[in-house]
Structure 1
Amino acid sequence: MYLKKIKLLREKISNSRDYPFSISSIKNLDELNLTKAVTFFVGENGSGKSTLLEGIADKCDFNVAGGGRSNIYDVHASQSALGDYLRLGWMPKIGNGFFLRAESFYQFASHLDQLKQDDPSYNYDRYGGRSLHEQSHGESFLSLFKNRFEGKALYLLDEPEAALSPARQLAFLRVIHDLATKNETQFIIATHSPILLGYPDADIYSFDEHHIDLIDYEMTDHYQITHYFLQNRERMLWELLKEET
């Protein structure tokens, strides 16, 4: 465990109606304590989970377009609106880590190719030995996870399941397990995946009820909706798709 606490600096907020404080979960945030090696943020789109994760990445000096401290490149509109209003509590503080932003992963892969173009001696050893653009979307994500991720680091992942099939999500759970159980790696993951959320002994914070609450896996919408659908597929589809009279 490295990052222990996330605190909102309310005294710095001049207008609570401005974004991102117009998001209820962010506006009501006081202090969030992290006690597990793996923490999940869940909630509907727009609930604030990605906004908070991006703010943490900004305070860690990770590239908020995706990457670590050494990945310097620009993506339009890739900036944090929240970072300046957060204080992070560490024990101990570390600088090693990575911010995965699924929506700008293409630009991150292009950044690596530009490094290769600028310096032919640059290699892709930390990314599977070849350009991420030469791999399928799912392969490129797993190449990053298996080769770039290592101990004594903080990994902030925004919807890592975006490119992963169910089988590859299970493979990613093994990557998390192998790193987290060595007590050297911490993960904070924003996800919609009921598979990833099933990781044992993780904390799950829900952003859905206008504030941030610690909840059990079985209480997440992701589990309940998926479980109900699998148990009642025909009935649920009939209700969903029936014509209105």
Structure 2
Amino acid sequence: MKSSKLEQYIRSIELNRENIPSFSEYPFNLPAIRDLHSLSFHPKVTFIIGENGSGKSTILESIAVAYGFNAEGGTKNFNFTSRATHSNLSNYIKVIKGTRKPRTGFFLRAESFYNFASNVDDLGAINSYGGRSLHEQSHGEAFFSVFLNRFTGEGIYILDEPEAALSPSRQMSMLTRIHELVTEGSQFIIATHSPIIMAYPQAVIYQIKDGFEQIGYEETEHYQVMKSFLNNTQKILNILLE
């Protein structure tokens, strides 16, 4: 019997450091990239967290593109480009795959979701997304419609800040949906700022500071800051607004 580690869809990535022209130039000067050699992923859920500008979206995009997804999101069948702004990091990323192939997959990124929704309309593919144009729904409704209608079992899902359009209660609903899909053999790699979403149990959490560091949920700054704020709201407001 093969281990789940060998069977997972994306086992790890490796950075081809020898061919990188300069680590003083973008995107190779980012904290997420500068000291990166390889990175292993959990068979079920891996989170990548870090401050704005740390490079988590850039590394997630490069993994998705190197795996074969469109840089602006969607399934592997999407090839639209509204503006070519993605980095060339994917050219230096090697994706180490497992023995099993996923039945489906999706790269979701908050910043280009509008362009993705427009392409769905252009292709006449709204039936695959709940039968209603994503543009006719609120941003949060459209996001969640994709989770419910387009994500299925035995899939690889790479999500960049999926909480961007979701209320806290919707983020909790997303946890339920992630768990349903994990029990059906799916794998997730998620960049997030949400202490709700990253609470998914037994996940691997990588924090980017000077490089990648595996960290426990309650050790994350996101959890600690949110807990401190909720437990000491007035005191913190007095400090922030004095």
Which TM bucket (shorter chain)?
over 0.9
SS at match of 2:123: helix
Root-mean-square deviation (CA, aligned residues, Å) is 1.2
Question: Given that residues 205 and 214 in structure 1 are in contact (C-alpha distance below 8 angstroms), is that contact kept between their aligned partners in structure 2?
Answer: yes
Q: Where does the alignment leave 5 or more consecutive residues of structure 1 unmatched?
A: 117-122
> What is the rounded CA distance, in whole Å, between the counterparts of 1:25 and 1:135 in structure 2?
35
1:50 aligned onto 2:57: yes
Residue 98 (1) aligns with residue 106 (2): yes
Distance (whole Å) between structure 2 residues aligned to residue 51 and residue 142 of structure 1 = 23
CA distance in 1, matches of 2:17, 2:51: 25
User: What pairs up with 1:153-192 in 2 under 5 angstroms?
Assistant: 153-182=155-184, 184-192=185-193
**Kept in 1: contact 2:156–2:188 (CA 8 A):** yes
Which of residues 30, 53, 56 is equivalent to 2:37? 30
The equivalences for 1:66-145 within 5 A come to: 66-92=73-99, 94=101, 96-116=104-124, 123-145=125-147
Judge conservation of contact 1:3–1:93 (CA < 8 Å) in 2. Answer: no
Give the drift of 1:78. Answer: 3.6
Mapped contact 1:180–1:186 kept (Cα < 8 A): yes
State the distance in 1 between where 2:79 and 2:31 align: 32
Give 3-state SS (helix, strand or coil) of 1:70's partner.
Answer: coil
**Where do 5+ consecutive residues of structure 2 fail to align?**
1-7
* Structure 2 match to 1:222: 222
Alignment check: 8 A CA contact 1:158 1:190 kept: yes
Amino acid at match of 1:22: N
- Using the alignment, how far apart are the partners of 2:117 and 2:45 within structure 1? 26
Q: Could you tell which deviates more after superposition, 76-85 or 132-141?
A: 76-85
CA distance in 1, matches of 2:156, 2:19: 26
Distance 2:101 2:86 in 1: 22
Deviation digits for residues 59-109 of structure 1, max 9, x if unmatched? 111011111111121121342321011111111263631111101100100
Deviation at 1:113, TM superposition (A): 1.0
Q: SS in structure 2 opposite 1:194?
A: coil
Within 1, Cα distance between the matches of 2:9 and 2:79?
24
Distance in 1 between the 2:153 and 2:16 partners?
Answer: 30
Q: What SS does the aligned partner of 1:77 have?
A: coil
Deviation at residue 232 of structure 1 after TM alignment: 0.6
Hey, what's the Cα distance between the residues in 1 that align with 2:82 and 2:187? 26
Q: Specify which of 47, 58, 61 is matched with residue 68 of structure 2.
A: 61
Identical residues among aligned pairs (%):
50
Q: Distance in 1 between matches of 2:87 and 2:99?
A: 24
For 1:165, the aligned partner's letter is S
**C-alpha distance in 2, partners of 1:151/1:176?**
10
The answer to whether the 8 Å contact 1:40/1:203 transfers is yes
Match of 2:148 in 1: 146
Other structure's SS at 2:48 match: strand
Matches of 2:78 and 2:96 in 1, distance apart?
A: 24
Preserved contact between residue 32 and residue 59 of structure 2 (Cα < 8 Å): no
Post-superposition offset of 1:166: 0.6
3-state SS of paired residue (2:196): helix
**1:196 matched residue in structure 2:** 197
